[in-house]
Structure 1
Amino acid sequence: MTTAVRSEFDRGIALTPQADGPGRYAAELDAGWQIGGGINGGLLLAVAGHALSLRHGEHPDPVSISGYYLSAARPGPASVATELVRQGRSLSTGTASLTQDGEERLRVLATYGDLAAHTGEVRTSARPPVMPPPEDCIGVEHAPKELIEQAALLARFDLRLDPATIGWALGRPSEEGRIQGWFKLADGREPDPLLLLLVADALPPVTFDLGIPGWAPTIELTVHLRAKPAPGWLRVSHATRNLAGGYFEEDAEVWDSTGRLVAQSRQLARAPRGR
């Protein structure tokens, strides 16, 4: 029995249980999720995260998930093998390995729980990014041709970038290393924890704002989920403070329509190879 299909994202992370052992699934990586030289890293993390949510049962939501990208994934069949490492009353921990053509693409270690149970007092100094409303931001239809050509997945997003952080698209990068905007899926699917794994890697690389265009492959991506997102627009901010030795970190914050911080992430990525 396959998982229910509700949208393009659900089809992208759909899994079919395999008969060769518990916690093993077949997936189909669609070309529409490509960016640069392979399938988007956030989508891959969501595929592995979906497999772990099925394996963990009463702990359906990732709380902390880290993925190490071992080789570039291509469109086509893939398989995910999961292992339950520890199961407690409120949290469980497991691993997942996504393979394709006999080669491991992604290795994941994650802790799962029930985000619906995360209630009570919130103490935070974090604030959502201040930017114009979505209708006054810049949509994908205005993206540079070269960006669209290397990022097929943008057609599946309703992404509205803050005009203050898109000087790079006009040949005038701020070199502050920040890109932010509003995010929804183009087909209207509302956000949930698995979608947040994609959103953490959905914006153009912040190296664009450093004046370095091109594909920036992820080495490692960790996402911390703080709450189930409310329906509606997500506000997303990506920033970097350090590019050195050909690598940079990219920190992301995702805020839901109520103004709550629902996810934080950090990834290490390889900088594009040239200006």
Structure 2
Amino acid sequence: MVATRLDGSVTIDRSWWSAAGAHGGLLASLGLRAMESARRTAAAYEQPVRSLTTHYLASVDERALSIEPAVQRVGRGSSIVTFQATQGKTTAMLGSAMFGAVRRGPSHAGSPPPDVPGPQDSEPVIYRPDLAPFAQHVEVRAATPSRPFLGGEVAELTGWVRFLDDRPLDAAAIAILTDILPPALFAVWTEASPVPSAELTVHFGSALDAGPADGWALVRIETRDAGDGWAIDDSTVWSADGTVLALARQSRLIISRKNWD
């Protein structure tokens, strides 16, 4: 549960935690909500969000989290808004978003979804509660044979996901989905180690200009590179009809098990 306090700050209970604090995708979505509100206050005309970047500087716990947006530029074509999130005296997150007006021009579908069974024909996935408490808010079904901790050959996981509260799949909800699957390295490992997000950038598809999607989304995450204690993961989110909703890339820390408290 995420609760808004009288002073405008938010609190996040442990049902939305990952292994070491509040879920990164949820935190990004809260930053986006704050920036969307600030942009609307500065300019009433509509501008969908085009990209969102979040830097994670410290874990977020149950204490009040203050998210302060700042409008850097408002124009008819595009706007830039930033935010800083603090907990106590600690800066926990920094981020920014670009908003852009809908323009007439050429289109290209791009990034077709993989050919996988639909959600009704895919196997339900049960997350370990100690690794992913946030999973109690979603239903996940594996769309391919790849599973965490089976020592596979490819660092890639693909699954159907839906929110159990049936929330519309707007940009803030999709930001959560880009980080909803386990780190892709889990597909080639045989035991868990923490791989927290350090930075997440989401580019939102133009399909959202027509309004939110709903129901199931297909999510794929794959590791593009890993070494020296860092990993680069790419995620793609498609609607149930195969339309791209978002493309994301994140930098992750790879923490040795011996350093995992």
TM bin (shorter chain):
0.7 to 0.9
Q: How does 1:11-90 map to 2 (within 5 A)?
A: 12=2, 15=4, 18=7, 25-57=8-40, 58-59=45-46, 61-90=48-77
Give the Cα separation in 2 of the matches to 1:27 and 1:59: 26
Q: 1:118 to 1:274 in 2, by over 3 A?
A: farther
1:234 corresponding residue in structure 2: 217
- Pick which of 224-233 and 243-252 moved more: 224-233
Q: Residue 214 of structure 1 aligns to which amino acid in structure 2?
A: S
Q: Deviations over 1:2-40 (max 9, x none)?
A: xxxxxx6xxx3x65685xxxxxx4112221110011111
The Cα of 1:186 is off from its aligned counterpart by 1.1
1:161 corresponding residue in structure 2: 142
SS in 2 for 1:159: strand
Contact 1:68 1:108 in 2 (8 A): yes
**Unmatched 5+ stretches in structure 2:** none
Give the Cα separation in 2 of the matches to 1:73 and 1:258: 35
- Pick which of 221-230 and 55-64 moved more: 55-64
Contact 1:249 1:269 in 2 (8 A): yes
Give the Cα separation in 1 of the matches to 2:220 and 2:245: 12
Q: 1:230 to 1:33 in 2, by over 3 A?
A: same
Q: Residue 120 of structure 2: which of 135, 138, 142 is its match?
A: 135
**Unmatched 5+ stretches in structure 1:** 1-7, 19-24
Q: 1:106 to 1:240 in 2, by over 3 A?
A: same
TM-score normalized by the length of structure 1? 0.84
1:259 corresponding residue in structure 2: 242
Across the aligned residues of Structure 1 and Structure 2, the Cα RMSD in angstroms comes to: 2.0
SS in 2 for 1:47: helix
SS in 2 for 1:224: strand
Q: 1:151 to 1:102 in 2, by over 3 A?
A: same
SS in 1 for 2:64: strand
Contact 1:207 1:213 in 2 (8 A): no
Segments ≥4 residues shifted beyond 3 Å: 14-18, 58-61, 117-121
TM-score normalized by the length of structure 2? 0.88
SS in 1 for 2:65: strand
Identity of aligned residues (%): 25
Q: How does 1:75-154 map to 2 (within 5 A)?
A: 75-113=62-100, 117=102, 121-140=106-125, 142-143=126-127, 147-154=128-135
SS in 2 for 1:80: strand
Q: Residue 152 of structure 1 aligns to which amino acid in structure 2?
A: P
Contact 1:53 1:59 in 2 (8 A): no
The Cα of 1:124 is off from its aligned counterpart by 4.1
Contact 1:37 1:72 in 2 (8 A): yes
Q: Residue 178 of structure 1: which of 139, 153, 156 is its match?
A: 156
- Pick which of 192-201 and 54-63 moved more: 54-63
- Pick which of 203-212 and 245-254 moved more: 203-212
Give the Cα separation in 2 of the matches to 1:274 and 1:150: 13
Q: 1:164 to 1:120 in 2, by over 3 A?
A: farther
SS in 1 for 2:9: strand
The Cα of 1:223 is off from its aligned counterpart by 0.3
Q: How many residues align?
A: 249
Q: Deviations over 1:212-231 (max 9, x none)?
A: 52321111110001131422
The Cα of 1:135 is off from its aligned counterpart by 2.2
Contact 1:207 1:271 in 2 (8 A): no
The Cα of 1:160 is off from its aligned counterpart by 1.0
The Cα of 1:162 is off from its aligned counterpart by 2.0
The Cα of 1:197 is off from its aligned counterpart by 0.8
Contact 1:59 1:92 in 2 (8 A): no
- Pick which of 206-215 and 77-86 moved more: 206-215
Give the Cα separation in 1 of the matches to 2:47 and 2:59: 27
Give the Cα separation in 2 of the matches to 1:59 and 1:113: 9
